[in-house]
């Protein structure tokens, strides 16, 4: 194994020859802030006459990538980027509160103090894995108890041993949306050079689950509709176009029977 470059007395990477004759280039990036595991950038150069020269080029490129990540355009942390993004986010008050709470509970404790430009795709994958493991982010202790109230109390059967529950996929998608928006703005503001969220996949959307009315419900609806021809025409239009509900003021309150999801 050959060390390549030793600035400040420390190796910046290695080029290792594999049994196949190919060369594996490795550069240490740092510890994953979620799992604590050491993270390396690695690339394989196929065996051949110019393999060593190509491996040295790859080593220089990987070192450049690491330098870009370790020296972002600003020293701002992810917390600061998120704060600034939330100030500019144009959504309703309820949605804004929900996003703020998601970040406080599930993002800031893990990555908030990390420089925004030093957060990579692997750290985000680790974060999403943690969110799928336990929404309370427990340490895995078997002695933990989920208490019925945070106040002082006498435990009863409502205080039970902790059971890990994953965060809902829809909530993880919301978190992904907010992080992607924050980093997209960060690139535009020149706070960071790349958006790492683009390289991370959120949970898939749930498949559609249409639930049209049953034949009996449709018959009741039509019978009720024809008592008022004006309203009945609207109902007929909605049913023939596959709509599942009416939201116009004309229909509101006309009858308790309507097309609804069950």
Section 73-102 average pLDDT: 90
Q: Which of 17, 18, 38 is nearest to 28 (CA)?
A: 38
In whole angstroms, what is the distance from residue 57 CA to residue 51 CA? 10
R_g (Cα) of the chain, nearest Å: 28
Section 83-92 average pLDDT: 93
Share of the chain residues as helix, strand and coil, in percent rounded to the nearest 5: 45, 10, 45
For residue 223, pLDDT beyond 70: yes
For residue 27, pLDDT beyond 90: no
- pLDDT, tens digit, 9 for 90 and up, residues 161-210: 777 788 999 999 999 999 999 999 998 988 888 899 999 988 887 777 77
77: left (phi over 0), alpha (psi -120 to 50) or beta: beta
pTM of the model: 0.54
Stronger pLDDT, 189 or 219, i.e. the higher one: 189
Stronger pLDDT, 28 or 224, i.e. the higher one: 28
Report the SS3 class of residue 117.
helix
Model pLDDT, residue 100: 96
- pLDDT, tens digit, 9 for 90 and up, residues 174-188: 999 999 999 999 989
In whole angstroms, what is the distance from residue 26 CA to residue 58 CA? 9
Q: Are 146 and 159 in contact (CB under 8 A)?
A: yes
Stronger pLDDT, 163 or 141, i.e. the higher one: 163
Q: Which of 173, 172, 102, 166 is nearest to 133 (CA)?
A: 166
Model pLDDT, residue 260: 40
Section 18-35 average pLDDT: 79
Q: Are 235 and 243 in contact (CB under 8 A)?
A: no
In whole angstroms, what is the distance from residue 209 CA to residue 230 CA? 31
Section 78-98 average pLDDT: 94
């Amino acid at each position: 194994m050959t060390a390549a470059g030793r600035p400040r007395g420390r190796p910046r990477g290695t080029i290792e020859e594999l049994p196949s004759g190919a060369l594996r280039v490795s550069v240490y990036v740092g510890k994953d802030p979620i799992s604590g595991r050491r993270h390396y950038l690695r690339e394989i150069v196929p065996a051949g006459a110019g393999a060593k020269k190509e491996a040295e080029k790859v080593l220089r490129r990987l070192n450049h990538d690491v330098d870009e990540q370790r020296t972002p355009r600003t020293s701002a942390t992810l917390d600061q980027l998120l704060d600034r993004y939330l100030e500019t986010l144009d959504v309703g008050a309820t949605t804004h509160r929900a996003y703020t709470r998601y970040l406080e509970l599930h993002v800031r404790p893990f990555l908030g103090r990390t420089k925004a430009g030093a957060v990579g795709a692997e750290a985000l994958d680790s974060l999403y894995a943690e969110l799928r493991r336990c929404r309370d982010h427990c340490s895995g202790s078997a002695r933990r108890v989920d208490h019925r109230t945070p106040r002082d109390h006498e435990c009863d059967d409502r205080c039970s041993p902790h059971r890990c529950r994953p965060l809902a996929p829809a909530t993880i998608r919301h978190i992904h949306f907010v992080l992607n928006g924050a980093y997209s703005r960060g690139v535009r503001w020149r706070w960071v050079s790349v958006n790492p969220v683009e390289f991370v996949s959120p949970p898939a959307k749930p498949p559609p689950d249409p639930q049209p009315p049953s034949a009996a419900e449709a018959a009741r609806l039509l019978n009720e509709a024809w008592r008022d021809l004006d309203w009945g025409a609207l109902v007929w239009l909605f049913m023939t176009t596959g709509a599942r509900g009416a939201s116009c003021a004309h229909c509101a309150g006309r009858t308790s029977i309507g097309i609804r999801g069950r």
